[in-house]
């Protein structure tokens, strides 16, 4: 396999190869690697409510503007993440004392303000993120409590009204492995579609490990999306080498490094075999291993990404390229 090729070029124009980025990292070697290997970005934090939504009708555009300007200057696609999510709800919102109708109005105003501002620059949005519980059932949140169970439909409608050209995604995690969650995600989407609510795609986050999920489990999930005519985004891909159930390793052993290469190859090969009209992007959730959220989240060492702390390509990068063959 020719390894002297960049990820975005190997994927050619069938789909974007993206990375989650933070504005505080966009310089020097990081900038060089990002703009040569990738052609799409997702903001790891800059486009979340806590960053932008300072109060009713009060928005702070500094961080998202910086990222959008950077991406535009560097000809990078931008995937917007995330308009409505139960995490990163700003503190002022949790103590909101207005009526439910007033709450709904400020959410509508927020979604329309953000999507309108970046119309033509941000091509796709995670409109609602992680609305279904692990194990199934609609997740309780301030949005469900104050806007009712059709809050998801309302958010998609408002986003579409604000930018008819943006691709609107629902985004969630663990649906290949958690079949009750998977079932309820697609039941929710079926209801949206039966009510003619605009939804263009699904983001499968793909925070996975070298052991789980299996290729077959991912395929079942992808097939359900395609059956519903949904574009598929592998939206937050990272592959842990210290999965539950295995002996924890304190360095990236050769055996785990190779297993990770095979898993990246498997996942990318599966995505590459999706019919082109249902492809959008594979986005890895970070560039260098030490930057990964996984390490703090699981409170143990891990090396889940494509590049090491010296910005060098890992075997995982070869696996990604092999999957694109």
Query: Which parts of this chain interact with ligand G3I (CB under 6 A)?
Result: 44-45, 48, 87-88, 129, 205, 236, 293
- Paired with 307 in beta bridges are 288, 313
Output the smallest distance, CB 293 to ligand G3I, in A.
3
Output the smallest distance, CB 297 to ligand G3I, in A.
6
Identity of the residue, 209 or 315, whose beta carbon is nearer to ligand G3I in the bound complex: 209
The strand ranges marked E within the chain are 16-21, 40-43, 53-55, 58-59, 77-85, 124-129, 167-172, 201-204, 207-209, 231-240, 279-284
Output the smallest distance, CB 104 to ligand G3I, in A.
24
Decide: 324 and 270 in contact? Cβ < 8 Å.
Answer: no
Which of 236, 266, 291, 322 is catalytic? The answer is 236
Identity of the residue, 23 or 157, whose beta carbon is nearer to ligand G3I in the bound complex: 23
* Helices and strands in the chain, H and E counts: 13, 11
Nearest to 238 by CA among 276, 207, 202: 207
Output the smallest distance, CB 194 to ligand G3I, in A.
27
Cα 77–Cα 30–Cα 71 angle in degrees, nearest 5: 20
Question: Rounded to 5 degrees, what are φ and ψ at 97?
Answer: -110, 5
Identity of the residue, 48 or 265, whose beta carbon is nearer to ligand G3I in the bound complex: 48
**Residue number with the shortest CB distance to ligand G3I?**
293
Output the smallest distance, CB 81 to ligand G3I, in A.
6
Does the annotation mark 236 as catalytic?
yes
Output the smallest distance, CB 234 to ligand G3I, in A.
13
SS3 content of the chain, % helix, strand, coil (to 5): 45, 20, 35
Does the annotation mark 104 as catalytic?
no
Identity of the residue, 206 or 321, whose beta carbon is nearer to ligand G3I in the bound complex: 206
CB-based contacts of 58, cutoff 8 Å, min separation 6: none
Identity of the residue, 63 or 324, whose beta carbon is nearer to ligand G3I in the bound complex: 63
* Joined tokens for residue 187: 């039941």
Which of 130, 266, 291, 322 is catalytic? The answer is 130
Cα 60–Cα 45–Cα 125 angle in degrees, nearest 5: 85
Q: How far is CA 286 from the centre of its chain?
A: 11
Identity of the residue, 258 or 298, whose beta carbon is nearer to ligand G3I in the bound complex: 298
Q: How many CB atoms lie within 10 A of CB 236?
A: 24
* Joined tokens for residue 295: 């390490």
Report, as residue numbers or ranges, the catalytic residues.
130, 236
């Amino acid at each position: 396999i020719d390894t002297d090729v960049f990820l975005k070029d190997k994927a050619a124009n069938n789909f974007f190869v993206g990375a989650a980025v933070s504005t505080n990292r966009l310089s020097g070697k990081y900038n060089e690697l990002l703009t040569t290997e990738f052609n799409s970005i997702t903001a790891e934090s800059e486009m979340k409510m806590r960053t932008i939504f300072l109060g009713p009708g009060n928005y702070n555009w500094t961080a998202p503007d910086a990222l959008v300007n950077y991406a535009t200057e560097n000809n990078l696609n931008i995937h917007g993440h995330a308009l409505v999510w139960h995490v990163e709800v700003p503190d002022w919102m949790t103590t909101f004392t207005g009526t439910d109708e007033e709450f709904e109005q400020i959410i509508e105003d927020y979604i329309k303000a953000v999507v309108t501002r970046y119309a033509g620059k941000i091509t796709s949005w995670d409109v609602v993120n992680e609305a279904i519980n692990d194990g199934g059932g609609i997740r309780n949140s301030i949005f469900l409590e104050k806007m009712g169970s059709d809050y998801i439909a309302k958010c998609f409608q408002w986003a579409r009204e604000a930018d008819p050209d943006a691709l609107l995604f629902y985004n969630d995690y663990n649906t290949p492995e958690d079949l009750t969650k998977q079932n309820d995600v697609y039941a929710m989407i079926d209801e949206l579609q039966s009510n003619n609510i605009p939804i263009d795609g699904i983001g499968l986050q793909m925070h996975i490990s070298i052991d789980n999920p299996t290729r077959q489990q991912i395929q079942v999930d992808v097939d359900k999306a395609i059956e519903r005519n949904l574009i598929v985004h592998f939206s937050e891909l990272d592959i842990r080498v210290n999965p539950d159930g295995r002996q924890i390793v304190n360095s990236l052993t050769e055996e785990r490094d190779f297993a990770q290469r095979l898993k990246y190859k498997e996942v990318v090969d599966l995505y590459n075999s999706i019919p082109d009209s249902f492809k959008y992007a594979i986005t890895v959730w970070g560039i260098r291993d030490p930057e990964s959220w996984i390490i703090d989240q699981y409170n143990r060492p891990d090396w889940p990404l494509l590049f090491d702390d010296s910005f060098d390509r890992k075997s995982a990068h070869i696996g990604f390229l092999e999957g694109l063959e």
